[in-house]
Every structure is written in C-alpha cells, then in structure tokens.
Amino acid sequence: MSGRRKNSRAAPPLDPADQATFRAAVADVTPLPSPNRVFHPVNPISPWPAKTREDEQAVLHDSLSDHDPGDFESGEELSYLRTGMPSQTLRKLRRGHWTVQAQLDLHGMNSDEARQAVGQFISNCRLHDIRCVRIIHGKGLGSFRREPVLKRKLRNWLIQKDEVLAFCQARNVDGGSGAAIILLKAAD
C-alpha cells in the first residue's frame, strides 16, 4: 500500500426504519420563520476608487482649459511672469538668455489637439529636465479671420500650468509673433 488513506467514502444509505423514526421525532417541530434577508450576487469590487479615477480624469481634462484667467500682461505681445518671480527673468527670456532645448509646432492642429499636445510636451520636458522651450503657434494667417486663434489659447493654457515660470513672444530670429519661448521649473 502507498500509505495514503482514502477519504472519499460515501455516506451509507439510511434504513427506512431510521427515516420513519426521525420523522416521528421531529413531527411536532415548528420551522423557524424565514429571515428577512436579501442575498445579493457577489460582484468583485475594484481595488481602485472609481471616484478618484473620475476626478483625476476631469482634472487632467480641465487642467488646460480655454478659460481666460486674465492675469497676464495686456497688449498684443505674448508674455507672462509667474507671481513671485523676479522681473529680470522675463527680460532675460526676451533677450534669449536661455538656450531653447526643445520645441513643439502646433501648425495644422485644432484647439483640442493643440491643448493635448501642449500638455504632453510640457510633461515630457519636465521629465527630461528641459527648462527652456519654444512652442510655435503660428500667426493665424490660415485661420478663419486671419487671427492667431492658438496664440491666445496657448497663453491661457500656459498660465494654468504650475510648471511654467514665464513666457514671452519669441525673438524674430526664433519665430517672432508666431512663437512663444517658455521657461519651465526645474525638475524635482
């Protein structure tokens, strides 16, 4: 023998006399009332909170909205300096003090595509510790009213990004009024 016991024994059939005895013994028993329980089907619960995921997606979508916050310098020239930054930062940016390390060209994109491209571009730049970038938004010569639609939207999108310290219109050699030079925070 192999030394293993077989545990799969079937219960012996009950003798009809034993069945009759059992039924006689429980004949006066009243069954318990049925409990008011509802048995719900078991559905596995996701380990990831659905509301948190929805909130994160909404924040991502809204993080680059077309909302115009209005806290930028007025005038046609594109420029912005984050509160608390020294004013010479914007002057240095305008004069080309920092070397442009990467660029994004928005030509041919609609507003939604451009917004998404700008968000991804800035995230990638931060990931690779790229501090000074150029975004070419165009002069709007091919738009409906020959106005730079993406220029205004880009300004609004950039102002809403915490990573952006300052931005200004590019020098003529770097694209002039059809591009912006952006200074980003250093990677953490």
Q: Which domains does the chain have, with CATH numbers?
A: 79-184 (3.30.1370.110)
| Tens digits of pLDDT across the chain (188 residues) | 455 555 557 777 888 898 899 889 989 988 888 778 877 777 777 777 777 777 666 666 555 555 544 443 334 578 899 999 998 999 999 999 999 999 999 988 888 899 999 999 999 999 999 999 999 988 766 555 666 678 888 888 999 988 999 999 998 888 888 899 999 998 77
Token pair, residue 134, equals 């150029």
**So what's the pLDDT on residue 69?**
46
**So what's the pLDDT on residue 186?**
86
Cα–Cα distance, 168 to 188 (Å, whole number):
24
**So what's the pLDDT on residue 70?**
44
| pTM exceeding the 0.75 threshold for the entire prediction | no
Cα–Cα distance, 116 to 106 (Å, whole number):
11
Token pair, residue 155, equals 């300004």
Q: What is the CA radius of gyration of the chain?
A: 35
Residues in a beta bridge with 132: 183
**So what's the pLDDT on residue 73?**
38
